[in-house]
Amino acid sequence: MRKRTKQILALGVAAAMAFSMAACGSKTADTSDSGAKTDTEKKDDSSSTEEGKVLNIRVWNDEFMTRVVEQYPGYEKTSDTEGKIGDVTVKWSVEPNDDNNYQNKLDAALKAQDSAAADDKVDIFLVEADYALKYVNADANVAMKLSDLGISSSDLSSQYKYTQQVVSDENGDLRGSTWQICPAGLIYNRAIAKEVIGSDDPADVQAAVKDWDSYYALGKKMKEAGYLVQATPYDTYRVYSNNVSNPWVTDGKVTVDPSIKDWAEKAKAEVDDGECSQDTLWGTNEWNAGFYPATDTANIGKGVFCYFGPAWFFNFSMKGDDEKSIAAQGGWGFTAGPQGHFWGGTWICAAVGSDNPTLDADLIKTMTADKDVMTKIATTYSEAVNNSDVIKELAGSDSGNMKILGGQNPYAEFDAAASKINLSSLGIYDQGCNEEFQNAMKEYFAGNKSYDEALDIFGTAIHEKYPSVELAK
């Protein structure tokens, strides 16, 4: 998300592997006879395999770090950015995502991997869907194949298919894994729904927003009642961008998909009609104000009917830790909305050249495939985890009821939505194109530029970011 993150007490107990990756002067697993080894043989192998004393993990926020610190068996926290797993020191390098900072720092570290001292080598790094292909591409040779770590497809058999597609290279080899799924929906203000729609029941609200025509018609009713249907024009962007027919870039040409253009036109109409503000996402007045009751003094005066987001949005965006917020009062509801989509997600990759492959493997496997850990993550953080068995169990249990949603259980919706996510148009330029297109539309929404003029701004920005591509004319 956005913006939007245990231990092996004895490494010798883990399945050991003989590593030899010539390209990096380090080691990669020989899996030719791994299935035939006995536990005793594995222990003997591990006792002779020398691994690093420092595990370096690169992240952009504390989401994954929090889950590891609290849920990985045997992790010992020694400071805000360091810990211990057995006799291995864990060092967290936190580089914020702003202005591509995280990727730039990661790229520099991976480029220096061969010559880095053992204690400085990158062992684990995280990626998001918008740019995952950049790192898992086989030619990039920076993320290890999970099979080379001894992690098999059967180990990850309960994961949702789309989460594996994100981090599969062009040969079909899996090079990362995630603990979370991010199917998203419409998160609505129950009090406003009761007033304007006449009910806050998810089924009734869904009927009122079942498609885009219904949603925009409801927006006019919200305006008449004195509310914003959504906080900003950008709140609906991810729904449209997740439902494109083609990737942003084909043969070096950037093309704006009809779905993206439709978003711009519909959002402009909303802004002009006063159904949403001209504000942007994250930390802005109008956007943040909607997380509080319309009568609260912190609010600018208009309540916001809905936001679009996945489960991580509940925790990281909706101010649930503030007792004055709607979230703290259980005042939100969740439904599918006018069109299915997903938003975000964090994938764990082991870096080629890591000197801690056994610990890398155990951490990835434990944090993304251990059913008990998955259950704890889901119930501790109100999160949708990447395990269909756990999701289905929560859907049929009171353990899946969420306070922020007034006791509603959204896990059946998460399961259904995650099973339908389509990633056929995913590309390596998605992050930059999505960000720059939204940036360019600001002048259009403000009435300072025509759509075509704003499109030219986008074309210039994207060519500066990716010199090898240009906007198709």
pLDDT in tens, 197-255: 999 999 999 999 999 999 999 999 999 999 999 999 999 999 999 999 999 999 999 99
Judged against a pLDDT cut of 50, whether residue 36 lies above it is answered with no
* 157 belongs to a structural domain: yes
* Residue 94 and residue 126 in contact, taking contact as beta carbons nearer than 8 Å: no
Q: Are residues 231 and 315 in the same domain?
A: yes
Q: Are residues 48 and 121 in the same domain?
A: yes
Q: Are residues 210 and 332 in the same domain?
A: yes
* 266 belongs to a structural domain: yes
Helix axes 371-381, 357-369, angle to 10 degrees: 60
* 230 belongs to a structural domain: yes
* 434 belongs to a structural domain: no
Please identify, among 418, 434, 468, the residue that sits at the C-terminal boundary of a domain: 418
Q: Are residues 290 and 149 in the same domain?
A: no
Q: 251 lies in which domain range?
A: 183-342+412-418
Q: Are residues 272 and 148 in the same domain?
A: no
CATH of the domain at 21: 3.40.190.10
* 241 belongs to a structural domain: yes
pTM listed for this prediction: 0.84
* 432 belongs to a structural domain: no
Can you tell me whether residue 393 is helix, strand or coil?
helix
pLDDT level of residue 296 (50, 70, 90 thresholds): low
Q: Are residues 233 and 371 in the same domain?
A: no
Q: Based on the structure, what is the number of domains in the chain?
A: 2
Range scoring the smallest mean pLDDT among 8-12, 295-299, 458-462? 8-12
Q: Are residues 332 and 238 in the same domain?
A: yes
* % of the chain at pLDDT higher than 90: 81
Exposure string for 1-14, b = 16+ CB within 10 A, e = fewer: bbbbbbbbeebbeb
Question: What contacts 14, CB < 8 A, 6 or more positions away?
Answer: 8, 42, 46, 358, 359, 361, 362
Please calculate the CA angle 444-424-61 and round it to the nearest 5 degrees.
70
Q: Are residues 244 and 138 in the same domain?
A: no
